[in-house]
Structures are given as structure tokens and as C-alpha cells.
């Protein structure tokens, strides 16, 4: 990975973490009496370079998760969900028939996969990220209803934010 790509990814990570912690964390939302969260940072994990070594992906996700955990007072929850997301990322790409050898999954790339496919990839990975986050958060299936309500509510709100952010960062077909 050359320095230009590394610098671009690092600046994107810093921007998304600041947005997540300083803005999105402060938005109070509830659904059926349950507190919801807006998740934007998992898009970073999806946009990491496809040819990045697996250990690099896992370490990046873990560190990003730990940074967010320190702001959210949720020891290991963001880190665990982030590591899970990058762990299943390439599997989801293969299932959704994305040629990872010839395509760059990037909102600023010249080689676009199309808005629809990009949003489907983000939707699948974001849904699993949020589901795993809430499962780790309560760490028991006794609160199954709470997990489902929070997952669905947070997923809808987060996806509504992903679309404009994708276009702000220049993703288009």
C-alpha cells in the first residue's frame, strides 16, 4: 500500500471517528422505549482496501473498535463487532458476486461497482455489524426482542445516513 492510499485511509478514519463520537453519539433516539444508536463507522471497514492483508484488516478493525469503545464506555463491544465485520467482509463480497481482483470498493475510486451494489454490500455488512454489536452488548438471548428492535431501528437510521455520506464522499456510478 503506498503512502497516498495510507494517508487517505487514515484521514478518512479520523474524520469518521470524529463524526461518530462528536455528532452521532449525541443524537438521542428511541424506538419502543429502547435507545438506538447511529452507526456510520462500519462503512470504513467496508471501504478498506481489498488487497489489504487479513491480519492488517483485523488489527485495524480491532484498534478502531477500541478507540470507539473508549468514547462509548462499552468495553470491547465495538471492537468485537468491528472484527466480526471485517472477518465476514470478503465472504459477503464473494456471495454477492463482487470480483475482488478487478474492483476497488471505494467511494472515491475510478472503478465503480455501481450505487445499487455498493448499497447492498453496505446494507448486508452493516446489518450484521449492528446485530453482533447488540448481541455483544447484552451478551444473552434473554433480551432477544430488545436485540431485534434495536438492530432494526439502528439499521434503518444508519442506512438513511449512509446514502448521503456516500454521495458526499463522491460515490456514484
At 99 the pLDDT is 65
Domain positions in the chain = 33-168
pTM (two decimals): 0.86
**Which of helix, strand or coil describes residue 53?**
coil
CB 82: neighbour CB atoms within 10 A? 29
Mean pLDDT of 81-96: 92
The pLDDT of residue 172 is above 50: no
Confidence band for 120, pLDDT divided at 50, 70 and 90: confident
The pLDDT of residue 22 is above 80: yes
At 49 the pLDDT is 79
The pLDDT of residue 108 is above 70: no
Burial class (CB in 10 A: 0-12, 13-18, 19+), 53: exposed
The pLDDT of residue 102 is above 60: no
DSSP state of 48: S
At 130 the pLDDT is 96
Percent of the chain with pLDDT over 70: 86
CB 58: neighbour CB atoms within 10 A? 14
Mean predicted lDDT score pLDDT of the chain: 83
Extract the C-alpha cell encoding 153: 431501528
At 109 the pLDDT is 40
Contact (CB, 8 A) for 29 and 157: yes
Amino acid at each position: 500500500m503506498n503512502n497516498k492510499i495510507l494517508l487517505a485511509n487514515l484521514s478518512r478514519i479520523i474524520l469518521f471517528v470524529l463524526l461518530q463520537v462528536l455528532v452521532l453519539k449525541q443524537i438521542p433516539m428511541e424506538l419502543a422505549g429502547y435507545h438506538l444508536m447511529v452507526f456510520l463507522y462500519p462503512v470504513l471497514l467496508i471501504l478498506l482496501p481489498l488487497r489489504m492483508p487479513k491480519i492488517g484488516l483485523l488489527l485495524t478493525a480491532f484498534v478502531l473498535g477500541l478507540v470507539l469503545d473508549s468514547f462509548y464506555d462499552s468495553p470491547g463491544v465495538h471492537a468485537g463487532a468491528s472484527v466480526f465485520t471485517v472477518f465476514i467482509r470478503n465472504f459477503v463480497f464473494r456471495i454477492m458476486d463482487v470480483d475482488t481482483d478487478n474492483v476497488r470498493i471505494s467511494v472515491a475510486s475510478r472503478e465503480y461497482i455501481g450505487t445499487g451494489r455498493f448499497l447492498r454490500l453496505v446494507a448486508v455488512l452493516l446489518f450484521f455489524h449492528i446485530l453482533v454489536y447488540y448481541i455483544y452488548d447484552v451478551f444473552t438471548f434473554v433480551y432477544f426482542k430488545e436485540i431485534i428492535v434495536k438492530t432494526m431501528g439502528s439499521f434503518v437510521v444508519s442506512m438513511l445516513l449512509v446514502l448521503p455520506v456516500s454521495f458526499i464522499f463522491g460515490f456514484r456510478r
